Chains A and B, each alone.
Chain A
Amino acid sequence: MIAAAFDSTARFVWSRNRWILLGCAAAYAAIFIACQIWSPDQIHRSLPQTTIFMRLAPFFVPLLVLVGSVNVATAQLGGRESFFPRLFYTLPIKAHEMVMPFITYCVALTAAMWLAGGLISDWRILMLAPPGTPIEADTVSYWLPFLITSGLVWFQVLAWTPVTSGWIRICALIVAILAHFFAVFLCAVGTVTPNEVVVVSALQIPLAFLMATRAVARDRWGVSHDDARRRAAGSEPSATREAKAARHHPLRAFSGALVAQAWFERRIQRWSGVGLSVLPLLLLAILIVLNVVNTRMKNPDLLGIVARLALTMFLWSLIALGAANGFLYASFRSVRRWQYKDVFAMPSFFATLPMSTGDFVWVKLTSVTTRMLWFSGAAVLACGWIALSAGLIDFDSGLMLALRQQHGDFNASMMLALPVCAFVLFLLGCTANVMSLSLGGRAWNAPNAINLTRYLAFAFGAAAVAIYWGRHHAPPAGLAEVVRALAIVKLLTLTLLVRHVGRRGLMSWRRLAAMLAFWLVTFGALLGAALTLLPEGQILWSTLVACLVLLTPVQGTIAAPLALHLNRVR
């Protein structure tokens, strides 16, 4: 029977993850061929990404396979139920026979990938030391695969264990991750030996197996569901809890459909906003603590380093928040209800509401813009505070003094604020573009295909120009003409798009005008920032304008009503 369980699990895992596994095998094969042509050491030096890929793949590929096999989206881990595939529950096998193949395959896959990667790269993937360090037993971190395998099997256990509240699972996951990081730290500082890490990690596998078997057995017989219901209810009767919830969220009288829809958007994104704010807030908390420590210890160097790091992280987290919010607001579902296939499909309930597609898009655009303005405002204030408290802004620097003398204190401050405004506006446009990509509901539809082609062409073009510029220390001949021509093409397609959306009645002309006005303001801010920051005469006025026309995101926003229309009407 156990052989049959292994066989059916293998088929199940393969059917759900064959593209991931084949893709990874292809990448390994490519690296293997490359290692036959050049030495692994040469590849490691000239293309360090291959080693990074092989270091990460044995962790991420089994994780992806786990996620694919048990149908767990990261956001769904916040749910209460077990994510063990239900179809196994009806098979005539015991819980341990269900669990064993999954854990065995996870361990085997991780081990196989580490071994294959090690053999291909001459064990470079296990080298945590800098390049050039001799490969000896001491420098090869052979304990790492064991530790990571332990982390993966615990991930399985947590995904399969039903909980009374999603937060319990999330907290348990954080604790497990921190515990494994702590083990790395202890090993690095020498508190524990690598062999001790190997032994303790290896012992985690049978322990995790026992825990997983218990969780799956309880879930299979519904014991955990009963427990969960009873514990969730506690001593409080459900009617009291519901009445409390009703008092907490009293009914609002909506003056119209747009107001109601805006309320809906706020409600479904409430927790995602809290979740997205956690990382920057943590960072800010660390900085506040450091600032307090700094004032007592008088160690400006430490604060300066950390502040620079924090500013960079704030900048990147703001960009990541823009992308995340773009995706979140494209959906009509709360993030906790996201499923694989229908995340962005418009539910029939909303599709049949008597509200125009343009109105739905308008509410989404204004909601996401409002949230991003809050995030951006908070980030700008936090960054300003960090920079000022760490002494990173010097009002008496050469540039500032020149600006203050030329334009006066107030105007000089405004000129410096302009790049910040331009960045925020640019970010808002990018967020709307990301939202528009997902509003289509399907990965492949006409607007998405056009957008993807546009982005790829832009990325490849920019990369080609950068490579040429790097080699020849000058831009390619005719680049300015190409940029100007592309800007004209963009403006022409934008005109056609606006005309198409307006004529089909997908968005009112007034709102289209508002969108274009926003774009013009962004463009103006970027132009102002460029004129402030760029030295005079370095770039032709027409080329600068063309560059900024290409850079300012607008098509995605204008195409958003068309994308949602294709989602609503199939």
Chain B
Amino acid sequence: MSVESNGASRPVVEIRNLSRRFGAAEALADVSLSIPRGVVFGLVGTNGAGKTTLIKHAMGLMRAQAGSVSVFGLDPVSNPTAVLSRVGYLAELNELPEWMRVEELINFTRAFYPSWDDRYAQSLRQNFELEPHKTVGALSKGQRARLGLLLALSYRPELLILDEPSSGLDPLVRRDILRAIIKTIAQEGRTVLFSSHLLDEVERVADRVAIINGGRIIQNDDLETLKSSYHRVVFRFGSAPQAMPQLEGYFNWQGGDRHWSACYRGDVEQAGKLANAEIVEHTPLSLNEIFLALVSSRGASRGEHA
């Protein structure tokens, strides 16, 4: 077996039992994740769930306190040059040097990447309508995001990591970012890891989704599998129940009086039945609904335990 074929079969990002604490706060708890080559991987979670911390570990900007992280089979902390030359990174707060002109920054960044594609960079600059003589400090937030994206894409990285790329940006910039992701996927063998809490975006482009909550991965599946396995089931009771209904396998109960609904993972036909209620309807959930149901039910269960 050749080195290339061996490398191709290996996951691009492999995280095993990663834990991280900041003082008393647990940012990541025993996280394991594997991102295969050629996949668009969406990492979703609430603010403070641990998305950025996880991504920083993948970029080698944080050392694993417990567990291991490997990118392209290498430890990004001890091999920063080998890993970072193959990774494109766009952070929510991309701290670009504000005094540089756009063309200067492009020229400066180009020196670090042997695979830099000048024509591609120029076409991106024109598409993003970035004026070459403007200083970075004079750009709007959206233009800075576009510039960051240009810098992350112009050397055609094998892995593109976007940390909350659309946060606080207008729909036009978000469209550009989504297009960039789609274009990257079109280039064979390239992988995208992006975190967001804008779930409609994730739903549009991701092949695989991991939901992170309180530093733990609570769901990690193919998007289609995920969406087909969660349903909202609506019950009609003969008479209004005295307390919130309870039934094994169902969670995230909502409603009142005689009508209650709950989420169920798996085949609804195989699910348990309530003696005094009939199932009126069951519908598959969108990613947004799955996320809300999982995160709020976790929060509720944590509240109960507390």
A binds B: yes
By a beta-carbon cutoff of 8 Å, the part of chain A in contact with chain B is 239, 242-243, 245-246, 249, 251-257, 259-260, 263-264, 267-268, 333-334, 336-337, 347-349, 351-357, 504-505, 568-570
Q: A249-B104, A251-B103, A570-B63 are in contact. Are A348 and B80 (CB under 8 A)?
A: no
> For the complex, what is the distance from the CA of A333 to the CA of B99, rounded to whole Å?
10
**Residues of B close to A251: CB separation below 8 A:** 103-104, 107
How long is the Cα–Cα vector from A348 to B92 in the complex, in angstroms? Answer: 10
Which residues does B use to contact A, with CB under 8 Å? 56, 59-63, 77-78, 80-85, 87, 89, 91, 93-101, 103-104, 107-113, 131-135
| B61 and A353 within 8 A (CB) | no
| Residues in A neighbouring B107, C-beta threshold 8 A | 251-254
Which 3 A-B residue pairings sit nearest by Cβ, starting from the closest? Answer: A242-B133, A260-B111, A347-B95
**Complex formed: what's the CA distance from A570 to B110 in Å?**
26
**In the assembled complex, which residues on chain B have CB atoms less than 8 Å from the CB atom of A243?**
133
CA distance A311 to B199 in the complex (A): 68
A255: which B residues are within 8 A, CB to CB?
Answer: 111
Q: B91, B101, B131: which contacts A348 (Cβ < 8 A)?
A: B91
Given the known interface contacts A354-B113, A357-B80, the answer about A242 and B96 at a Cβ–Cβ threshold of 8 Å is no
Q: Which residue of B lies closest to A256 (CB)?
A: B111
Distance (whole angstroms) from the CB of A29 to the closest CB of chain B: 34
CB-defined A-B contacts under 8 Å, sample of 14:
A242-B101, A246-B103, A246-B133, A249-B104, A251-B103, A254-B108, A254-B111, A256-B111, A259-B111, A260-B108, A334-B97, A334-B98, A352-B87, A357-B80
User: Given A252-B107, A260-B108, are A354 and B133 neighbors across the interface (CB < 8 Å)?
Assistant: no
**Contact A568/B81 with A246-B133, A251-B107 known, Cβ cut-off 8 Å:** no
Chain A residues with CB under 8 Å of B94's CB are: 348-349
With most chain A CB atoms within 10 A of its CB, the pick from B77, B85, B109, B111 is B111
Contact A355 B61 (CB under 8 A): no
Cα(A254)–Cα(B114), bound, Å: 12
Min C-beta distance of A250 to chain B, whole Å: 10
Which of A246, A259, A268, A348 is in CB contact (< 8 Å) with B95? A348
> Are A257 and B111 within 8 A (Cβ)?
yes
B103 touches A354 (CB 8 A): no
With contacts A347-B95, A354-B113 taken as known, whether A569 is within 8 angstroms of B60 at the C-beta atoms is yes
User: Which residues of B have CB within 8 Å of A253?
Assistant: 107
* Contact across chains for B111 and A354 when beta carbons are under 8 A apart: no
User: Nearest Cβ in chain B — how far from A274, in angstroms?
Assistant: 15
Q: How far is the CB of A407 from chain B (nearest CB, A)?
A: 50
Residues of chain B contacted by A355 (CB below 8 angstroms): 80-81, 112
Tell me how far the C-beta of B183 lies from the nearest C-beta in chain A, rounded to whole angstroms: 21
Chain A neighbourhood of B77, CB < 8 A = 569
* Cβ–Cβ contact B108 & A264, under 8 A: yes
Given A569-B61, A570-B63: A246 in contact with B108 (beta carbons within 8 A): no
Q: Which of A257, A336, A337, A504 has a CB less than 8 Å from the CB of B112? A: A257
B61 touches A568 (CB 8 A): yes
CA of A348 to CA of B89, assembled, Å: 10
Out of B63, B98, B101, B133, which one reaches A337, CB within 8 Å?
Answer: B98
Q: A260-B108, A353-B84 are in contact. List 13 more A-B contacts (CB 8 A).
A: A251-B103, A252-B107, A257-B111, A257-B112, A260-B112, A264-B97, A349-B97, A352-B87, A354-B80, A355-B80, A355-B81, A569-B60, A570-B63
- Docked complex Cα distance between A504 and B109 (Å): 26
Q: Which residues of A contact B98 (CB under 8 A)?
A: 334, 337
